[in-house]
Structure 1
Amino acid sequence: MANTSISLLQTVKQSLQQGRLDNAKAALEQLFLLNINEHEKAETLYLSAVTCRLAKDFQHAIKRIDDLLALRPDYGRAYQEAGYCYLAMGNQQAASSAFFKATQYNPALLTSWQQLLKIYTQFNDHQAKDIAQQQIAYWQGLPAPIRGGYDLMYENNLVDAERVCRQFLQQHKHQPDAMMLLAEIGIQMKVYHDAEFLLESCIALYPDNQRAVSLYVGLLAKLGKHDLIERQVMALPETVQNSTAMQMALANACLGLNKTEQAIRIFNSLLAADPDKPAVWLALGHAHKTAGAAEQAVEAYKQAAHYHPSFGDAYWSLANMKSYRFTNEEISKMQDRAESPSLSVDDKVHLCFALGKAHEDSKQFDASFAYYEKGNALKKATLSFSIERTEQAILQQVDAFPVDVGAPSPKGFPAPDPIFIVGMPRAGSTLIEQILASHSDIDGTMELHNILALASQINTPAMQSQLADQKETQSTFVPYPFAVAHLTHDQRYQLGKAYIEQTRCYREQAPFFIDKMPNNFMHIGLIKQILPNAKIIDARRDPMDCCFSNFKQLFGEGQEFSYSLDDVARYYQAYLSLMDHWHHCYPGDILTVHHEDVLDDLPGQVARILDYIGVPFEEACVAFHQTQRLIKTPSAEQVRQPINRSGQGRWKPYASHLDALTKRFQ
């Protein structure tokens, strides 16, 4: 079947190149009869739209494009094809909108920029014309293979994009645009360590390349390396350092380093120079929310929406305050904007989640679920997530750390400092963190990316080369997590030491600190090998409450499993299975804390957790809501209130929509 579909797709492409539309139509008819995968279906719909347009059947072309965008709402070439159709139909306004969207989702579409330039010139839109000219000059200035590689990357064809880029670099070593493209592909593939090395090298070779600096700083932010961002920005020439982009990067780094007042000063300085900066208002709102200044956060988010009325993230940020309640007028405006055909997918996703929360607050649960469902479906369509791949990755952890050889390494780094809180998102981990951070011997930090980075580092050529020296077959690549078994005692020690050193900038002076990255449950085997004395707390919550809370939470990034009820249920089950395995590997070393038990007996559970860590009981941990600290998760407002059960049973009014969960957990 796969060979048949590939052959037919090739026939369509060749027929279109040769102008043989009848042959293309015949092959497409066969393709539509096949049971093809989603990628092939998208390509078939796109080629069908092109065929219809070339045959001057514009209405059918638009229908194919609509079907394609329902499947892939961020497919830039689909919008470009729509633009050509609308131009041919004489609808210049629709064409302009389509070409603009094409460039938003795939900036490498040079012809879309050229079409926009013609339209902007015709209507004397000088500002838009200047932007189009700048973009045309940039993309025309790139080597053709690199422009083609960007096109492939933006259309989510990462494998071919990487192949094209590497072939170019073989002939043009250290070409900066190619290095940056390969780094961007690496970021999308989540090969962060390789991407970081590429961008570091690019900046070292081309220190004046501002685009490379911007990409590097953006990656450091994604990795949570805020201290490096601060040093990088402060080392830039003053003119570059004072740009809005670099000042924003510096302010966000300050937030990550708990320098909240400094971050707020930078945001306010940018807004004093020009208040029409919605993204700065949004960031200022996040800073105030982190510091617990709810009223200032709300006002900042409203200013972001004022200056950008279709800014979906501003409305979602208001909704994500949890305590904020939208007025009927605000809901009506949000609904109108959510239906606007010119709205970007990202803004629509944010608005749908905000409207889901707004209707939930007004107890219109069917309408609420409809918006949550739509927002999740749109978000999922923009991702390449596979729950099957995730389940396989979890099985690999079980295979890589069998029970009989999974004991902690006595030769890892012996520091007892880290307390890892792991588990599902929305499982009560922020509450446990707040309880522990209220203790005088424990520093709270945030969700740190360092373990994920160290896991990625094990797959790098440098580390693999070191491992190869220890294996009989030196050419064999042993991927993480299986490579952990090949680490020497010294390598385990050095990796553990690196974790402690890298996280020091997030700590104060307490002997213990918390790393609240929930996804670290996947890496407990690695943690116990490199940090044998680390404490691990598994935050667990009722599956119905936990899974539904994930489904209605729009995460900043990551947690791709959460955008489908079936995916989140399967992820929860896989998490339980892996945690059972870790408990067998490390009996007595991992403490499971059920959220419901904390609600039932706060003092008793606090005493139990502190006893596990080995610190004396302190009453401040029971009065956790009085602790003043920075909190950077969606649960920030909840944990600043006394213990309550407001989050329990939130799924029940939605029960008729939750068959994917109830069939597994009820």
Structure 2
Amino acid sequence: MHGAAGPWERAQAALGRRDLRQARAALETVLQQDPAHVPARVLLAGVHLGEQRLRDASAQLVLAARTLPDDAATACRVAQALMRVGESAATRDVLQHRSIAQCRDAVVLASLAHVHQSLGQHEQALALMDRARALGFDHPDLRYFRSIQLQFNGRLEEAREELEACLRLGPTYGRASLTLARLRKASPEANQLAYIADQLQRVAPGSEDHAAFEFARYKELEDLGRYDEAFAALSRGNALMYRRVQHDPARDTRQVEALIARCTRELLAPGGDGNDDGPQPIFVIGLPRSGTTVLDRILGNHSQIVSAGELGDFAHQLRWSADLPGRSLLDDALIERLPDLDLDDVGRRYLAQTRWRAGRHRYFVDKLPPNFLVAGLIARALPRAVLLHLHREPMDVCFSNYRALFGDAYGYSYDLQALAAHHRNYRRVMAHWHAVLPGRILDVDYRELVSQPDAVAARVFAFCTLPMEPGVTDLSRNAAPVATLSSAQVREGIHARGLSEWPRYQAQLEPLRRAL
């Protein structure tokens, strides 16, 4: 088909043997003969990743994106690969490929919807899911993810209906049961308790669905005021997840100590000047569930700011600079290489990957809470970026993490002692950034934010060198999609109901309080 069957077959055979060196040689031969052989470039990128060469992998995928055939399935595969290596701008371009508009393959459309979702393009993701469903594609996964997109886009009643349909199609889909519990308050007349009890007899023991049903049972029981039973279910769900994720608090503490040791005042001393006056990022950081979404929605109400969602681009550019593939924000190898990175280049590459999100706005919000770990590196790499740190009372924020189900994203959240250790590390890191970069990060207190939103907003916008605008704290004005655990709650407006919810479980949470 491409005039290079010999080396292409040799590449396939070498990959079957896990011989990366021979596979690389054969694939390079294919591309010498046919530079437009996109599958070979995608496979070669995978070989480079296997050899721990992120830069070479990224380069191959960017080249593949420039020579796409008129085939939506190939475009989808390239977009998925680009997203994994952090080439956000190229992913965005591939998703606009002409073949996608004519695509009639429902499976490909659903897969492309997930890429849009990963890129934070939730309206486009929902549109592709609708196209897939119109073509007859229907199963629990599509129903569940479509419900999530409906929720992100503010269509909450439709989201509830889709979750109910998902549960009818897939009775052991625990995540759907949990999401439904979060979208509506249980009552004695209308709740899922009998359904959940039945499904817990059928679900795969120890699975994430098993844990999700326990989290759902916790929420239903709490709504009914049955707090002792609720906490028992929550404890079971967290224990299931903690066994699954195999979190290591000691490793996290060692990494934080190494990070602080390497990120000295000298390393973070100002270097470049930001190079230009184009759109700049506002980073909203802190622990998950600390109020970052509320602040993000306030910022997004300003005429000169657009919210870009939770972006992984800064971490991707750190890894590109270190030439280290990986999925975590930080790891031992990356921390070790930090002093050798060209942080000015990290900043330039970050802007190249993200500025398209700003449109005509002066600022775009990058709201990824765990970026608190790299806040000092952000400040050094992006001298004109604004950093806003949400902090919330320790018991409040830790309990809010414990009652959430984050999948495998935040392993510390499933154990009370691990939560306390993580909170201690968080405080140490933030204290370090304030010590070596005084005045560079604005602390925003969650209790003040929800009790005095206008005053806090005025202080935040002054820090951003922007004028206060009327109505910015009216969250109902903000119709933009929101893709966080609190996506339904923030559409209700600012309220203080989340303050001090933990005392109803004071006895059960005493070990956490002591540890903190």
TM-score interval for Structure 1 and Structure 2 normalised by the shorter chain = 0.7 to 0.9
Runs of 5+ unmatched residues, structure 1: 1-141, 148-164, 463-477
The residue number in structure 2 matching 1:607 is 458
Is this contact kept in 2: 1:411–1:492, CA < 8 A?
Answer: no
Who is 1:437 aligned against?
A: 300
Query: Deviation of residue 399 (structure 1)?
Result: 0.9
Distance 1:593 1:571 in 2: 20
Report if aligned partners of 1:217, 1:249 keep a CA contact under 8 Å in 2. Answer: no
CA contact (8 A) 1:458 1:483 kept: no
Equivalent residue, structure 1, for 2:291: 428
Give the Å deviation of 1:483. 3.7
For residues 13-68 of structure 1, give each alpha carbon's deviation from its aligned partner in whole angstroms, at most 9, with x where no partner exists.
xxxxxxxxxxxxxxxxxxxxxxxxxxxxxxxxxxxxxxxxxxxxxxxxxxxxxxxx
Residue in 2 that maps onto 1:630: 481
- 8 Å CA contact 1:278–1:307 kept in 2: the answer is yes
Letter paired with 1:436:
L
Is contact 2:317–2:346 with CA below 8 Å preserved after alignment? yes
Going from structure 1 to structure 2, the CA distance change for 1:201 and 1:607 (only over 3 Å counts) comes to closer
Larger Rg: 1
Cα 1:390–1:414 change in 2 (3 A) is farther
Contact 2:79–2:91 (CA under 8 A) maintained in structure 1: yes
Give the counterpart of 1:309 among 148, 171, 179: 171
Post-superposition CA distance 1:359-410 (Å, at most 9, x none): 1211222222222222222222222432222222211221112235533324
Q: Structure 1 residues 651, 254: closer, same or farther in 2, change over 3 A?
A: same
Uncovered stretches (5+) of structure 2, i.e. residues with no partner: 1-11, 28-38, 326-331
Q: 1:643 aligns with which of 478, 491, 494?
A: 494
The equivalent position to 2:351 in structure 1, one of 500, 519, 526, is: 500
The alpha carbon displacement at 1:320 in A equals: 3.5
What is the alpha-carbon distance in structure 1 between the residues aligned to residue 13 and residue 385 of structure 2?
Answer: 50
SS in 1 for 2:322: coil
The one-letter code matched in structure 1 to 2:433 is: W
Does 1:513 find its partner at 2:375?
Answer: no
Match of 2:126 among 258, 264, 267: 264
Shift of 1:608: 0.9
Inter-CA distance 588–282: structure 2 relative to 1 (3 Å threshold)? same
More helix per residue: 1
Q: Go from structure 1 to structure 2 and tell me whether the alpha carbon gap of 1:562 and 1:215 turns closer, same or farther (over 3 Å shift).
A: farther
**Aligned to 1:443, what secondary structure does the other structure show?**
strand
CA RMSD after TM alignment: 3.8
Within-5 A mapping of 1:122-521: 165=18, 168-173=19-24, 183=46, 217-218=79-80, 220-221=82-83, 228-229=90-91, 231-232=93-94, 242-255=104-117, 260-274=122-136, 276-321=138-183, 330-340=192-202, 342=204, 345-403=207-265, 405-413=267-275, 417-460=280-323, 479-487=333-341, 491-521=342-372
Measure how far apart 1:623 and its partner are: 1.9
Matched residue, 1:126? none
How far, CA to CA, are the matches of 1:351 and 1:312 in structure 2? 5
**Residues of 1 paired with 2:25 and 2:144: CA distance?**
37
Q: CA deviation at 1:254?
A: 4.0
Q: In the aligned structure 1, how far is the partner of 2:254 from the partner of 2:416?
A: 19
Q: Relative to structure 1, is the Cα distance of residues 609 and 170 closer, same or farther in structure 2, using a 3 angstrom cutoff?
A: same
How much has 1:342 moved relative to structure 2?
A: 4.4
Give the Cα separation in 2 of the matches to 1:195 and 1:565: 40
Query: Which amino acid in 2 is paired with 1:251?
Result: A
Counterpart-to-counterpart distance in 1, 2:46 and 2:237: 30
Q: Across the two proteins, how many residue pairs are aligned to each other? A: 486
Following TM superposition, by how much is the alpha carbon of 1:280 offset from its aligned partner in structure 2, in angstroms?
1.5
For residue 30 of structure 2, what is the aligned residue in structure 1?
none
Shift of 1:479: 4.8
1:576 aligned residue (402, 427, 432): 427
TM-score under structure 2 length normalisation? 0.82
Give the distance between the partners of 2:404 and 2:395, measured in 1 at CA: 14
Q: CA deviation at 1:502?
A: 0.8
In the superposition, relative to structure 1, how do residues 211 and 252 fare at CA in structure 2: closer, same or farther (>3 Å)? closer
Q: How does 1:76-115 map to 2 (within 5 A)?
A: none
Higher relative contact order (CA 8 A, sep 6+): 2
| Residue 6 (structure 2) aligns with | none
Query: Contact 1:193–1:457 at 8 Å: present in 2 too?
Result: yes
Residues 371 and 614 from structure 1, CA distance in 2 versus in 1: closer, same or farther, beyond 3 angstroms? same
Q: How many Å apart are 1:638 and its aligned residue?
A: 2.1
Which residue, out of 367, 387, 402, partners 1:551? 402
Which SS does the other structure have where 1:532 is aligned? coil
Q: 2:324 and 2:100 mapped to 1: Cα distance?
A: 37
2:21, 2:197 → 1: CA distance? 51
1:326–1:583 Cα change, 3 Å: farther
Rounded Cα–Cα distance in structure 2 between residues aligned with 1:497 and 1:143: 40
Query: Are the equivalent residues in 1 in contact too, given 2:392–2:445 (CA < 8 A)?
Result: yes
Q: Distance in 2 between matches of 1:294 and 1:194?
A: 43
CA contact (8 A) 1:203 1:209 kept: no
618-627 vs 544-553, which moves further: 618-627
TM-score by length of 1: 0.65
Which amino acid is the alignment partner of residue 600 of structure 1?
Answer: S
Which residue is 1:531 aligned to?
382
C-alpha spacing 1:232/1:439, structure 2 compared with 1 (3 Å): closer
Give the superposition deviation at 1:358: 1.4
Q: Deviations over 1:329-384 (max 9, x none)?
A: 62211122123264671221222221221112112222222222222222222224
Paired with 2:200 and 2:86, the residues of 1 have a C-alpha distance of 32
Q: 2:9 is matched with which residue? A: none
For residues 165-218 of structure 1, give each alpha carbon's deviation from its aligned partner in whole angstroms, at most 9, with x where no partner exists: 4xx22354467899979959969x999778766877999999999999776544
Q: Deviations over 1:142-186 (max 9, x none)?
A: 979958xxxxxxxxxxxxxxxxx4xx2235446789997995996
What is the rounded CA distance, in whole Å, between the counterparts of 2:408 and 2:48 in structure 1? 17
Farther off after superposition, 641-650 or 271-280? 271-280
Following superposition, the deviation at residue 265 of structure 1 comes to 3.2
State the AA in 2 paired with 1:500.
L
C-alpha distance in 1 between matches for 2:243 and 2:64? 33
**Structure 2 residue aligned with 1:587:** 438
Residue in structure 1 matched with residue 467 of structure 2 by the alignment? 616
